Amino acid sequence: MTDLYPQAMLDSLAADPDSPAFEHGTRVVSRLEVLDLVARFTGGLAAAGLGRGDGVAIATAVTPEGFAAQLAAAALGCRVVGVRPGLTEAQLPHVVGRDVAALVADDPGPELLAAADGVRVLRIGPGLLSTAETPVARGRADDIASVTFTSGSTGAPKGVALTYAAMTEHWSWQPAKWSADTAELAAGYGRFLLFGTLTSAVMQEHLGLCLLSGGTAVIPEGPPDFPAVLERLRITASLLTVPRLHQLLDVLPTTEVDLSALRVLLVAGSPLAPHRMAEAFDRFGPVVRQGYGLTEVGFLTSLTADDVAAWPPALRSVGRPRTEVDLEVRDADGNAVPTGTTGEIWVRTAYVLAGYWRNEEETADLIRDGWVRTRDLGHLDERGYLHLTGRARDVIIVNAIVHYAGAIERALTGHPGVREAYVAGAPDERTGEAAHAFVVVDGEPDLDGLRARVARELGEAAVPSTITVVDGVPTLPSGKPDKRALLTQR
């Protein structure tokens, strides 16, 4: 029987004690030093009376200490709750005020302290790290191991709850079960760029891949300045949101940057126009991969340059399902549809959420007989590649007619002069809602041509009420496009 999470990570750190686990400027932290930090956090949390089943909210910067605190809480069998940066004063109580016994933080601000009223606050420092206790995985399979909260863009954040059993089956955190494609991916993670927040499920899974494959997590000093940070820190693997990929592609023609160390450049987070993906393959070659996944179920599909070379229509897809993933496209009644037919994407994998924390109604709507509704729309082609067409809930209802933002965005980026396109809905007195488009273009904008293209592909009713040319796209702390901010520019 496989040892429960996070035993594989603890064993991996102990097996190669002298090699570097983290690098931050001139500070290099060995695997033995990380294990010592984990032991001291384990002792400190246990001395505070925390153990199996207790909720421990963790709000730290991207540091070895932040990672060690998470690992120690998991070793004790706690429910680890990530407190991501950028949560509003109204959202914070949903995260730190829901069955949380303690808050572990670097230096909590007044809003966080107010939200954690009544919760024990443990500041990272000598007091918490004074006593070491050997960390050993103590959770039970059905206990909740972690709760990762969504962005809350549609209201209160939802907590994605994962059991210790699910984390033990995680595609990247359990090397004994790595598929061939995961092992191949891991080989490129010698120096992984770690930035953003440790509460990100995506960053966590790739940090796990790095450390468990013997790599070093390299933390930049300050926000990463792409693409220079890749050269300066000799990065071999990095995650990129679509806006950051656009930034790279736009800067490189006029900026000399040595990216020869790169082995993996994984692009994910939002739709990417096919011609920009082709440009990325042309410029970076096989190091580029496009990924599609969800916090609820992890990494689902992958597209490589080799895929496109063998099957050019794959360029418009997000790749084929990974080995660990079962994927079906279904109609509104939950029945599988034929190849080429658009429907909702359902997935099944051993690593899957138990449900949304304290939200039975949303959970019941999400999980059916072991399958998870992604709420994304798409179709599978004859070679098994998945083509996304929009979010089931990313809709704009104009004159009682449903329009999918993703479909309009794809029509706009099909125009040769458009580099990026985003569509958002806003209230409208005449039509209930109206679609507003925002585009980044090369040269002079052809707004009439854009409207004609949308009308030709989707019908006149789908043409956005306004099309605004912008120089760049504001992003959320996650790196994804901030459509609310875009609406203020129309």
Per-residue pLDDT of the chain (490 residues; tens, 9 = 90+): 478 999 999 999 999 999 999 999 999 999 999 999 999 999 999 999 999 999 999 999 999 999 999 999 999 999 999 998 888 888 898 899 878 999 999 999 999 999 998 899 999 999 999 999 999 999 999 999 999 987 654 456 789 999 999 999 999 999 999 999 999 999 999 999 999 999 999 999 999 999 999 999 999 999 999 999 999 999 999 999 887 898 899 888 888 999 999 999 999 877 778 888 999 999 999 999 999 998 899 999 999 999 999 999 999 999 999 999 999 999 989 999 999 999 999 999 999 999 999 999 999 999 999 999 998 889 999 999 999 887 766 778 787 677 878 889 989 988 988 988 999 988 887 777 889 999 999 888 889 999 999 988 888 888 999 999 999 888 876 677 888 899 999 9
- Cβ–Cβ under 8 Å, residues 291 and 350: no
The length of the chain, given as a count of residues: 490
Give strand ranges (E) for 225-318. 237-240, 264-267, 288-294, 298-304
How far, in Å, CA of 315 to CA of 303, rounded? 8
* CA distances from residue 244 to 55, 88, 264, 343, 420 in whole angstroms, order as listed: 34, 24, 15, 30, 12
Place of tokens 């736009």: 250
Q: What is the spatial distance between Cα 64 and Cα 22, in angstroms, rounded to a whole number?
A: 7
Closest CA to 329 of 293, 380, 283, 288: 380
Burial grade of 477 (CB within 10 A; 0-12, 13-18, 19 or more): middle
- The closest alpha carbon to 7, from 104, 75, 108, 81, belongs to 75
**Among the listed residues 350, 281, 264, 355, the one whose alpha carbon sits nearest the alpha carbon of residue 315:** 281
Q: What is the pLDDT of residue 400?
A: 63
What is residue 35's predicted lDDT score, i.e. its pLDDT? 98
Query: Crossing angle for the helix pair 31-47 and 64-75, nearest 10 degrees?
Result: 50
Separation of alpha carbons 269 and 388, rounded Å: 13
- Amino acid letter, 5: Y
Peptide bond just before 427 cis, omega within 30 deg: no
Euclidean distance between CA atoms 409 and 453, whole angstroms: 11
Spatial distance between the Cα atoms of 11 and 16, rounded to a whole number of angstroms: 9
* CB neighbours of residue 408 within 10 Å: 23
Nearest to 295 by CA among 186, 400, 179, 150: 150
The pLDDT value given to residue 341: 96
- The pLDDT of residue 403: 82
Distance CA 203, CA 212 (A): 14
Beta strands in 258-391 (DSSP E): 264-267, 288-294, 298-304, 320-321, 326-330, 343-348, 355-356, 367-368, 371-380, 386-391
Q: Looking only at Cα atoms, what is the longest distance across the chain?
A: 69
Query: For the chain, which domains are there?
Result: 7-169 (3.40.50.12780), 395-487 (3.30.300.30)
- Name which of 307, 286, 289 is nearest 299 in CA terms: 289
* Residue 137, Ramachandran bin (φ over 0: left; ψ between -120 and 50: alpha; else beta): beta
| pLDDT for the residue numbered 316 | 92
